[in-house]
């Protein structure tokens, strides 16, 4: 997993609308990258639904929240619609998992990302990370708020 203090690897991925979104788009604002395994899995559904419930509070703290998985932009669009969420979802689809790998969150043995959180500060440095011990364990929203509190 990437270490705090490291420069966050730049990326440009397609969102649920097929538009390119880059890490540089968030410069000057904190962004919490949420790496998760797969759209439509029961645990991912629970995780993103939970984060949607607290999204406004996260944004009030000057932080954007962005989900990243190996699913396609089309799958992300359908997933967002099914859940009724507004969290932007980015497709680390081709080459599969390249961005997730660059952050150290890819699980080769299963072919998708682990449940990991990476807080990138306003200057593009990794401020905080959390890697779940298993893809079945959801990082609670409290971890996000604790990270934002400690990052100032």
| CATH number, domain with residue 94 | 3.40.30.10
State pLDDT tens for residues 9-48.
999 999 999 999 999 999 999 999 999 999 999 999 999 9
Whether the full predicted model's pTM is greater than 0.75, yes or no, is yes
The shares of helix, strand and coil residues in the chain, as percent rounded to the nearest 5, are 35, 25, 40
Domain annotation covers residue 7: no
**Catalytic residue (one of 23, 44, 58, 129):** 44
Tell me the C-alpha distance between 52 and 94, whole Å: 26
User: Quick one: which of 2, 11, 33, 54 has its CA closest to 121?
Assistant: 33
- Reported as a single tens digit per residue, the pLDDT across 89-131 is 999 999 999 999 999 999 999 999 999 999 999 999 999 999 9
Q: Read off φ and ψ for residue 87, nearest 5 degrees.
A: -60, 125
In the prediction, which pLDDT does 151 show?
A: 84
Domain range spanning residue 109? 12-151
**What's the domain count of the chain?**
1
Number of H helices, E strands in the chain: 4, 9
Q: Does residue 38 belong to any structural domain of this protein?
A: yes
138 is annotated as an active-site residue: no
Helices (H), the chain: 42-60, 73-83, 98-102, 141-151
Residue 1: inside a domain? no
Picking from 148, 142, 150, the residue whose alpha carbon sits closest to that of residue 64 is 148
Residue 46 is predicted with a pLDDT of: 96
Q: Is residue 152's pLDDT more than 80?
A: no
């Amino acid at each position: 997993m990437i270490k705090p203090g490291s420069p966050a690897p730049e990326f440009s991925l397609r969102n649920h609308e097929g538009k390119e979104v880059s890490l540089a788009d968030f410069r000057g604002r904190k962004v919490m990258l949420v790496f998760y395994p797969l759209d439509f899995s029961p645990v991912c559904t629970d995780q993103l639904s939970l984060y949607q419930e607290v999204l406004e509070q996260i944004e009030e703290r000057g932080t954007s929240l962005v989900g990243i998985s190996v699913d396609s932009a089309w799958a992300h669009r359908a997933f967002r619609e099914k859940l009724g969420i507004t969290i932007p979802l980015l497709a680390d689809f081709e080459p599969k998992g390249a961005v997730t790998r660059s952050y150290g969150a890819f699980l080769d043995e299963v072919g998708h990302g682990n449940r990991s959180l990476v807080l990138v500060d306003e200057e593009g440095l990794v401020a905080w990370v959390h890697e779940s011990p298993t893809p079945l364990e959801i990082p609670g929203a409290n971890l996000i708020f604790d990270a934002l509190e400690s990052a100032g």
